[in-house]
Amino acid sequence: MNVVCLNGELLPAGEARVSIFDRSFLYGDGLFETLRVYGGHPFAWTEHLDRLERSARWMGLQMPTTRDILRSTSLELLRRNGQSEALLRIQISRGQGRRGYSPRGAESPIWVVTTHPATPQDPARPTRWRLATASLRLAASDPLNQRKSSSKLLQILARAEAESQGSDEALLLDTAGEVVEGSSSNVFWIAGRRLLTPPIESGALPGVTRDAVLRIAPELGFIPDESRCTPEDLRAADGVFLTLSSLELVTATALDDTALRESPGTRALHEAYQRRTRSGSH
């Protein structure tokens, strides 16, 4: 049976228990991070933990343990589960408090770490997804969109809508009709030698894989930039792809009923990203 961590204790998954009065369960009052593990080492550990701690401060949520303990526990969990290529999920909850929305009295946050098998990625042929524009809209420039909060109902419903239409991922627009991100991914498009992605100020999640791709792009001759866009801009692009830690770079092959161009730049960026993740620098 898979082993998990609950508040620092390693135990079989079937024995882990969280109270029905936990605020993450009741209200989504918590945060999470998902890291890709290569060769037994979590990739971009510092960047993920930086984002987790920034979000916790913004929410007024006390971190329940230290980085050192989180890391040592995560490595031991991977060892116990015999997983060297995996996904590592860290969940933080504000814990139990009084009934109602007020966080007063919730002074004992909890933390959970779990590991999961990773889907192997072929750099020569990235995963291919069809996109569907979600009918639900994100509030323009909403700062909550920039946090990996446990409250992801809009993203869940958008993904379900996309899948009901035979697509793999939902494209989320804001209330102004501009592209923000996918339900679980950041969006990029290629226009000549320009590599573009919506700005963080639009409400996009500051994705760790997103940042890594922006740093890699100049090495391949791309000019990285942030730009607002509409779905029509994506349809006119030389190529569109998505980034997420679990699947790295994903080629977008269609948006609604329109086939999208596929750029060889996507594969080149994916190959460069894979070299970075397997370089031993984590």
From the number of C-beta atoms within 10 Å of its C-beta (0-12, 13-18, 19+), residue 43 rates as buried
**Per-residue DSSP letter, 119:** P
| Domain with residues 3-117, CATH architecture | 2-Layer Sandwich (3.30)
Proportion of the chain in helix, strand, coil states, percent, rounded to 5: 30, 30, 35
pTM of the model: 0.94
pLDDT tens digits for 114-160? 999 998 888 778 999 999 999 999 998 788 888 999 999 999 999 99
> Hey, is 142 helix, strand or coil?
coil
Residue spans per domain, the chain = 3-117, 127-277
CA dihedral 236, 239, 242, 248 (to 10 degrees): 180
Q: Do domains 3-117 and 127-277 have the same CATH topology?
A: no
- Looking at domain 127-277, which of 3.40.50.720, 3.90.650.10, 3.20.10.10, 3.30.930.10 is its CATH number? 3.20.10.10
pLDDT tens digits for 150-180? 999 999 999 999 999 999 999 999 999 999 9
